[in-house]
């Protein structure tokens, strides 16, 4: 692990490496790998793809079918040696609506498949938590599926305390573990 930095996404020097990560099956969340057509569309203009991800004018459809407004988030890439894309982490920047209080929380992250299990997610979450203004966010909520052992460890190693494990209509397949991190 060398020279790791969080940069606002997308970071030009790591774009090529980001496209390689997509081809490996990386996605910014827990969704299935993108199809070739979607990867080509993203690759044709990575900046436009990131602009569309934070475009608040488009609502989103939740897993229970509810259509809700998007809320603002800041997205960062973890980049090694200034050119190698490692993963992505997002911070939601407004008050959390009900669905995110049950599933999603303030922070979401993903590491490219080829480098999982090497400590990168633990480091990436730590770097983001250092950036967050304690006055604005004294308590951070992070959720993960019950059974996502790696994610639970990442949160716990960064000071996360398990608050509860809930059933939620927003995640029909898994119970949701809700952690608080006090900054």
Ligand X SMILES: CC(C)(COP(=O)(O)OP(=O)(O)OC[C@H]1O[C@@H](n2cnc3c(N)ncnc32)[C@H](O)[C@@H]1OP(=O)(O)O)[C@@H](O)C(=O)NCCC(=O)NCCS
Q: Which residues lie near ligand X (CB under 6 A)?
A: 30, 108-111, 116-122, 144, 148-151, 153-154
- Shorter beta-carbon distance to ligand X: residue 43 or 148: 148
- Shorter beta-carbon distance to ligand X: residue 65 or 117: 117
CB atoms closer than 10 angstroms to residue 44: 9
Q: How far apart are CA 36 and CA 20, in angstroms?
A: 12
Q: Rounded to the nearest whole angstrom, what is the least distance from the CB of residue 167 to ligand X in the complex? A: 17
- Shorter beta-carbon distance to ligand X: residue 45 or 167: 167
Which residues, other chains included, contact 77 with Cβ-Cβ below 8 Å and sequence gap of 6+? 6, 7, 8, 9, 10, 11, 14, 18, 85, 86, 87, 88
Q: Rounded to the nearest whole angstrom, what is the least distance from the CB of residue 80 to ligand X in the complex? A: 12
**Which residue's Cβ has the minimum distance to ligand X?**
121
Q: How far apart are CA 103 and CA 105, in angstroms?
A: 6
Q: Rounded to the nearest whole angstrom, what is the least distance from the CB of residue 18 to ligand X in the complex? A: 14
Q: How far apart are CA 60 and CA 85, in angstroms?
A: 27
Q: Rounded to the nearest whole angstrom, what is the least distance from the CB of residue 34 to ligand X in the complex? A: 14
């Amino acid at each position: 692990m060398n020279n790791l930095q969080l940069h606002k996404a997308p970071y030009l020097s790591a774009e090529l490496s980001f496209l390689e990560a997509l081809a490996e099956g990386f996605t910014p969340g827990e969704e299935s790998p993108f199809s070739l057509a979607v990867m080509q569309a993203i690759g044709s203009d990575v900046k436009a793809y990131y602009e569309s991800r934070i475009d608040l004018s488009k609502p989103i459809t939740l897993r229970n079918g509810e259509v809700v407004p998007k809320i603002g988030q800041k997205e960062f890439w973890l980049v090694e040696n200034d050119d190698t894309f490692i993963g992505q982490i997002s911070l939601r920047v407004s008050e959390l609506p009900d669905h995110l209080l049950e599933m999603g929380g303030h922070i979401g992250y993903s590491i490219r498949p080829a480098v999982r299990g090497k400590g990168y997610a633990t480091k990436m979450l730590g770097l983001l938590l250092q950036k967050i203004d304690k006055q604005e966010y004294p308590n951070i909520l992070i959720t993960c599926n019950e059974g996502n052992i790696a994610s639970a460890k990442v949160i716990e190693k960064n000071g996360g305390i398990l608050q509860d494990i809930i059933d939620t209509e927003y995640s029909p397949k898994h119970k949701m573990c809700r952690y608080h991190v006090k900054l």
